[in-house]
């Protein structure tokens, strides 16, 4: 029996500093989605928050430049409900797309969507709050020693903050905006002068800033696919392999192209099992759904795996770790998109059964 294709609204662009990364991710989705199962409708979001749409290109024609043109010159969309979505795939990275704000809008409109809900999205986006949650689990998920501060209180709070960093963390340390992705606004500080500069930069992106102890560690990432139940897939770990004296900043990720991906990572069996367990524990504890990439820093000296970040809408570009890890787990890119949409629809149906009254 022929089944009518579902309308999949693909959302890209966004107001965050990761706008260009989103265009690249969305291009890869357009090139891989099963077009017999899904009728694609595009929704571009400009840096000013405007919404536009345009003709959906073929897989061969899809490109970041074409999507950028839709964002800049497409037909205005006054209301997402006018696009008649069966399911929404927000391929948005960073604030105003990955942090629960867009998810809240879709919830209010009653639209099924791929990925975590409002709480899971906002919790994992906030590096400070997620650290508190994971640190206080029983058993705890290991966190790198950290300090958080309010950038709005700088520079008057700088002397006390510098003293706290030197006492509790030492140098070098990493300074990060609490709510950002793709290493935007992150600096490695080696002394008090660099710390002050790093805090000022991070404060441009978020009022809340996190300062972490720098550890000599391997960058290990795992992919999760599912609803947190027994059928949830946790991939084997992959490793980001970097040249000496290089850390995984924005340029390394997207411009210089010097990072290598080793899938699977060369790790002992017990360490792999531990990382998989911690990934699923964190995924469930933070209320994640659908997908996540769970990033660890595996300290070389001690072997301790520190959970660095849970990314609820990880990159979907051709070089991104998440789809590569899932492919190694046996889920090809096209099937991955289909499964994510099915998970979104299943979650929407389940939530529709919940009582909204006392009857």
Residue count of the chain, please give it: 359
239: phi then psi, degrees, rounded to nearest 5: -125, 135
Which residues does 156 contact at the CB level (< 8 Å), separation at least 6? Answer: none
Q: At 27, which helix (H) or strand (E)?
A: helix 19-32
Nearest to 179 by CA among 254, 105, 101: 101
Listed in sequence order, the residues at least 6 apart from 102 whose beta carbon sits closer than 8 Å to its beta carbon are: 11, 90, 92, 96
Please name the residues in contact with 10: beta carbons below 8 A apart, sequence gap of 6 or more: 26, 29, 30, 33, 40, 41, 42, 43, 89, 91
Euclidean distance between CA atoms 83 and 80, whole angstroms? 6
**Are the beta carbons of 115 and 312 closer than 8 angstroms?**
yes
Q: Torsions phi, psi of 13, nearest 5?
A: 90, -115
Question: Going by DSSP bridges, is the β-strand pair 305-311/260-262 parallel, antiparallel, or unpaired?
Answer: unpaired
Round to whole Å and give the CA distance between 234 and 220: 14
- 185 - beta bridge partners? none
* Residue that is written with structure tokens 């927000």 in the block: 90
Q: Do 205 and 180 touch, CB atoms closer than 8 A?
A: yes
List the structure tokens of 358. 């006392």
**Catalytically active residues, by annotation:** 18, 182, 254, 293, 295, 309, 311, 315
Residue 18's alpha-carbon distances to 12, 180, 183, 254, in angstroms, are: 10, 9, 10, 11
The secondary structure of the chain in percent helix, strand, coil, rounded to multiples of 5, reads 35, 25, 40
């Amino acid at each position: 029996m022929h089944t009518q294709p579902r309308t999949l609204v693909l959302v890209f662009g966004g107001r965050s500093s990761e706008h260009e990364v989103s265009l690249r991710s969305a291009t890869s989705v357009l090139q891989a989605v099963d077009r017999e199962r899904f009728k694609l409708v595009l929704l571009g979001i400009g840096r000013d928050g405007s919404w536009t749409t345009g003709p959906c290109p073929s897989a061969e024609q899809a490109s970041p430049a074409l999507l950028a043109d839709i964002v800049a010159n497409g037909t205005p969309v006054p209301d997402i409900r006018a696009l008649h979505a069966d399911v929404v795939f927000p391929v948005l990275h960073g604030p105003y797309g990955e942090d629960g704000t867009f998810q809240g809008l879709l919830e209010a409109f009653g639209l099924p969507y791929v990925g975590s809900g409002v709480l899971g999205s906002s919790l994992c986006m906030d590096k400070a709050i997620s650290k508190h949650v994971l640190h206080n689990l029983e058993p705890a998920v290991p966190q790198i020693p950290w300090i958080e501060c309010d950038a709005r209180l700088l520079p008057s709070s700088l002397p006390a903050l510098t003293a706290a960093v030197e006492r509790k963390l030492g140098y070098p340390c990493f300074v990060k905006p609490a709510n950002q992705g793709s290493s935007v606004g992150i600096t490695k500080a080696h002394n008090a002068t660099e710390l002050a500069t790093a805090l000022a930069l991070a404060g441009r992106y978020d009022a809340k800033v996190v300062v972490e102890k720098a550890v000599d560690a391997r960058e290990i990432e795992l992919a999760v696919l599912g609803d947190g139940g027994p059928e949830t897939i946790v991939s084997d770990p992959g490793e980001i392999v970097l040249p000496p004296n290089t850390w995984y900043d924005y340029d390394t990720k997207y411009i210089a192209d010097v990072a290598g991906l080793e899938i699977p990572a060369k790790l002992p069996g017990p360490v792999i099992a531990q990382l998989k367990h911690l990934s699923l524990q964190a995924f469930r504890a933070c209320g994640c759904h659908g997908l996540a990439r769970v990033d660890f820093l595996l300290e070389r000296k001690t072997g301790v795996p520190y959970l660095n970040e849970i990314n609820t809408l990880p990159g979907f570009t051709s070089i991104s770790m998440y789809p590569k890890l899932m492919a190694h787990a046996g889920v090809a890119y096209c099937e991955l998109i289909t499964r994510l949409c099915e998970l979104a629809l299943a979650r929407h149906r389940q939530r529709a059964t919940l009582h909204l009254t006392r009857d």
